[in-house]
Amino acid sequence: MSFLANILQWLLPVTEQVTNSTEKPPEKPRPARKFDAIRSAVEDRLHYLIGVEIPEHREIAEKDVLHMYYVEIECEACGAELLTSFFKEFNPVARKDWLRGIIGLNGLVNLDYFSGVHSKADLPDVGTLDKHEQMLSQGSLPDYRVHIHGRWVQSLPVRDTQSADNNGFMLKLTIHDELGTRHEGVSRYPIKIGRGADCALQVSGRYSSRDHCRLSFDAGKIYLEDRSKYGTWLDGVRVPEKTSVELKGSRCLLKLGMREGEVSDYPEIEFEIERAAYSHSDTLTPIIQQADITPVISSKALMAVLVDASGNELCEVTKLPFSIGRIGCDYTTPPIHAGISGKHLSIESFTDSGAEVTHQASSKNGTALNDCLQPSSFNWPFGSEIALAPKWDKAPAMRITLKRAE
């Protein structure tokens, strides 16, 4: 054997050893986790909704947004024990946050009234919703089937204070009908209100017409026109048939179909008219405040902000007292939280540390702070979370944090 061959024979084992030492070891398969089947079923269903169902719907109705109320998990008998364990191990808030994380900041899904994940035996009662059932292939049923409950709503334009067609006016609406209570905003006109699918502002009630009334804007004023069969009442006065009347003041109440009655038959809409602030022009004469004049404090000064369990802003507190509840309050809670009282509590005043709260006697399902039920009056510290109606076991409690005004 030649000298060169001897050298190569000696180097070969060393080369193989170096090569083998740089190779990555094979990856170990991830061990199966306890709730993999449930998690996969929910995540796959939501990805299909966002990736397939919503784009298909918007091919025809390009302005629609899906208002999601809750997600239902249905299972076969063989999966019932694990599903029960899943609901026991993860509380409603954790399940809700998990779903929000999957959906992310998707502008085509509105989660303002989203309550989270529920079993088929524990579905909340929030009125008539569209059920988006899971499409199944032929063959045996999977252990877990996931359905989404919500309704399609035509999205309204984003507020544009420079728009010439609204002159800076913004309408904040609180709608009470057979579907519950919800909030909308209007900044462009005209707006059609009614039961019809083509209405920008849809209401649901026995005596609401498909094209019930319309809002229009002209020469710095907002007008309401009745177009209904059963009539429209503005602040208790019937609007003449096929006639337009001006919305005056900063607040007014609209009743559809009858002057008074249950909202499931005769929907109500509360209007709050807000004018957008305009930037000052250099050509305007400035107002000089004299030292001996007491300054005027705006009644709309920001005092605090209410945020939900995920950190999303619910509303601003700009007046006192400030009521929170299910019906006719300064902040009206979503209908999914059915255990909350009509007027659940009231913020009476603020201190350096938080808010002084009156807990109404009618709040029969309670209010908890740090998991402790509170008496008729208590202090709500800034940065602390309260739970409204934690004693009610047929619907989730609503969790609100008080945030200091910045």
pLDDT above 50 for 86: yes
What DSSP character marks residue 91?
-
Matching fold, domains 169-275 and 304-404: yes
Residue 23 has pLDDT above 70, yes or no: no
105 pLDDT tier (thresholds 50, 70, 90): low
Mean pLDDT of the chain: 77
Strands 213-218, 191-194: parallel, antiparallel or unpaired by DSSP? antiparallel
Bridge partners (DSSP) listed for residue 71: 117, 148
- Select from 206, 199, 200 the least CA-distant residue to 188: 200
Domain boundaries defined on the chain:
37-154, 169-275, 304-404
In angstroms, how far apart are the furthest CA atoms of the chain?
Answer: 115
**Whether residue 297 has pLDDT greater than 70:** no
Q: How far apart are CA 350 and CA 354, in angstroms?
A: 6
144-196 pLDDT per residue, tens = 999 998 888 876 543 333 333 444 467 788 888 888 888 777 767 788 898 87
Q: Does domain 304-404 have CATH number 2.60.200.20?
A: yes
Residue 383 tokens read as 């940065």
For residue 7, the model assigns a pLDDT of 55
Give the mean pLDDT of 334-355: 85
Structure tokens at 251: 């607040």
Virtual torsion, Cα 75, 78, 84, 85, nearest 10 deg: -130
Fold held by 169-275:
Tumour Suppressor Smad4 (2.60.200)
Residues paired with residue 75 on neighbouring β-strands, in sequence order? 144
Higher pLDDT, 244 or 7: 244
Instruction: Say what the pLDDT of residue 6 is.
Output: 61
DSSP lists the bridge partners of residue 172 as 185, 272
User: Which segments of 59-139 does DSSP mark as H helices, in order?
Assistant: 80-89, 92-103
| Burial readout 171-188 (b: 16 or more C-beta within 10 A, e: otherwise) | bebbbbbbbbbbbbebbb
Examine the pLDDT at 383 and tell me if it is beyond 90. Answer: yes
